[in-house]
Amino acid sequence: METIQFHDVCIAYGEFLVVDQFNLVVEPGELICLFGPSGCGKSSILKTVAGAIKASGGEVRIGDIAAENYDSPLSYMPQENELFRWLNIRENVVLWHRESAKRAKVHTAIPPDEALSLVELTDAVDKMPFQLSGGMARRTALARCLATDASIMLLDETFISIEQRLRRKVMVAVRTHLKQKGITALLVSHDYEEAAFMSDRVVFLSAVPAQIHRITPVSLPNQRTIDLFDGDGFRQATLDLVRS
Amino acid sequence: MALQLRHQRIRSPSAVAANASRIAPILAVIGLCHLLWFAAVSVFGIRSIFLPGPVETYTVLTRLLFHEEFWLDVGASWLRVSVAFLLSLAVSYPLVLAALSSDQLRRSLFVIVEFFRYLPVPIFVPLTILWFGVADTGKVVVIFLGTFCQMIPMFYDSALIARRSYGAAAFSLKWRQWDEIRNIAIPGSAPQVFDSSRICLGWAWTYLVVAELLGAPHGIGYAIIRAQRYLATDRIFAYVIVIGLMGVLTDRVLRYVRGWVFAWA
């Protein structure tokens, strides 16, 4: 179980400052949603944790290691699915499972076939990425994340193109998995329902240069099932987020 | 997998009609070119020593097909191109992989490559004759020099694009450089490497003819020089058509192979 700490993090692309003085501690096993207007740097924050970009100022730490030096696998789902086009769906998931297992210190992965079944892709495992719809490709990328041995998961607009019926089911499965395995997670979203259901806390960001506008805890039980979507408590929690 | 994908493709009932409508404009353009050629010869009355007509040229070409000499020329040229091209591929691809894994090596390699890449290949012909005589080695070296320096930046750029397109895997799984090359750069750039190789094969043919023009026991370039000595312009035209047709055929075959092997790309 890892903590993610942001200390005065600034992210800039050349002269353009995207994120300014971002401070946050994500507790071990906690699930935090970054919520904010498009282009405010939410994905960039995720990328600093993944080690894809380095913060221009401040520091991102995973446990007591600087993010860019962290050498255990991360379960990262970028906005572009980045599925390997030369591998079929199953091979894509198996590759991440196998490769993460080589370097991981934890065993949090769901077996590939189980992960594929969870996102309802069992009948499509032999398909190639170019044969998939947008939603199927997104689910494959999610299955790949679930099949990764990692103590940190970073999800960038994961559920957006998944059909409504399946979306809720997948959200339940992902949250249950994260909580059961004690995985620390950061989620980027534009959807109030998704933010309310998935997160323990929601971090609202201002427009560019992004700063923390407000942090709102989600007033829902830790264990969340599919029935929760139809309850008044969920409606109220979603409404609370809308109002904040 | 590629075979499986082929079988999955839906066969349209109007596929034949679609093929016909695709081929028709090509045939029309070829026909028009021949018509203009024929018109130029007959209307302007140009002597066949300067511009032989299509009938004359194709008659010579048909006759050539039954001569052993012609096939020896074609065979010799193919052999030189193939050896030089494969040699070029065998040297440049591992160098590109090595350059991907070391910035220092990449910088040094690219200085040399950029230096050679802008040198016109014909300037190497006198040097190779001096060093290797008129034997095949010199011709292979000329083609090698012409293609090898072009392959390296093309292959490198393809690998770099693959690396950037699939970067999430590398930093998520904390891959070392070789893992990234093995899992992303090699498979991800394979279709583009194939395409670049196809383009370089075309260049190899142009360099071959340049190399052979200065003398060889056999070869299409040398056959053109032989024809020139006897002012047999119709034979020159026939050989030009042969080179062009071989180019079209090679390109078509390679495109088909590409579609079959890299159906995912």
pLDDT for B9 beyond 70: no
Mean pLDDT of chain B: 88
pLDDT for B168 beyond 50: yes
Which residue type does B49 have? I
Q: What would the two tokens of residue A13 be?
A: 């692309």
pLDDT tens for A62-109 read: 998 999 889 999 999 999 899 999 999 999 999 999 999 998 888 999
Say if A68 is an interface residue toward chain B (CB within 8 Å): no
A140 Cβ neighbours under 8 A, 6+ residues apart:
A81, A83, A89, A92, A93, A116, A119, A121, A129, A132
The predicted structure's pLDDT at residue A184: 95
Residues of chain B neighbouring A73 (CB-CB closer than 8 A): 172-174
Q: Summarize the confidence of residues B156-178 as an average pLDDT.
A: 92
Say if A100 is an interface residue toward chain B (CB within 8 Å): yes
CB pairs under 8 A between A and B: 64
The predicted structure's pLDDT at residue B2: 47
The predicted structure's pLDDT at residue A9: 92
The predicted structure's pLDDT at residue B156: 95
d(Cα A122, Cα A239) in Å, to the nearest integer? 36
Cβ neighbourhood burial of B118 (10 Å; 0-12, 13-18, 19+):
exposed
pLDDT for A244 beyond 60: yes
Of B86, B66, B65, B83, nearest in space to B139 by CA: B83
**For the sheet containing A201-205, what is the strand order?**
A75-77, A152-156, A184-189, A31-35, A201-205, A212-217
Q: Which of B171, B184, B264 is facing A51, going by the closest CB pair? A: B171
CB A191 within 8 A of CB A162: no
Residue % of chain A over a pLDDT of 90: 61
Angle of the A89-103 helix axis to the A134-146 helix axis, nearest 10? 20
Q: Summarize the confidence of residues A21-45 as an average pLDDT.
A: 91
Shortest Cα distance, chain A CAs vs residue B172, angstroms: 5
Buried b (16+ CB within 10 A) or exposed e, A174-194: bbebbbebebbbbbbbebbbb
Model confidence band, residue B12 (pLDDT cutoffs 50, 70, 90): low
CB B163 within 8 A of CB B185: yes
DSSP H helical segments within chain A, as ranges? Answer: 42-50, 89-103, 112-118, 134-146, 164-181, 192-198, 232-243
B46 Cβ neighbours under 8 A, 6+ residues apart:
B40
Query: Which of B4, B166, B174, B176 is the best substitution to test chain A (most A C-beta atoms within 10 A)?
Result: B174
pLDDT tens for B43-55 read: 888 888 888 999 9
Of A176, A135, A183, A180, nearest in space to A159 by CA: A135
Q: Is the pTM of this model over 0.90?
A: no
Scanning the structure block, which residue is given the tokens 């498009």? Answer: A38
pLDDT tens for B226-239 read: 898 888 999 999 99
pLDDT tens for A194-242 read: 999 999 999 999 888 888 888 989 888 888 888 888 888 888 888 888 8
pLDDT tens for B23-35 read: 888 899 999 999 9
Q: Summarize the confidence of residues B193-202 as an average pLDDT.
A: 95
DSSP string, A73-124: --EEE-SS----TTS-HHHHHHHHHHHHHHH-SS--PPPHHHHHHHTT-GGG
Helix (H/G/I), strand (E/B), else coil: B216 = coil
pLDDT for B36 beyond 80: yes
pLDDT tens for A118-142 read: 999 999 999 999 999 989 999 999 9
Q: Summarize the confidence of residues B10-24 as an average pLDDT.
A: 74
Q: Which long-range contacts (CB under 8 A, 24 or more apart) does A217-222 make?
A: A220/A196, A222/A179
The predicted structure's pLDDT at residue A176: 93
pLDDT for B255 beyond 80: yes
The residues that bridge with A205 in the sheet, in sequence order, are A212
Contact A73 B174 (CB under 8 A): yes
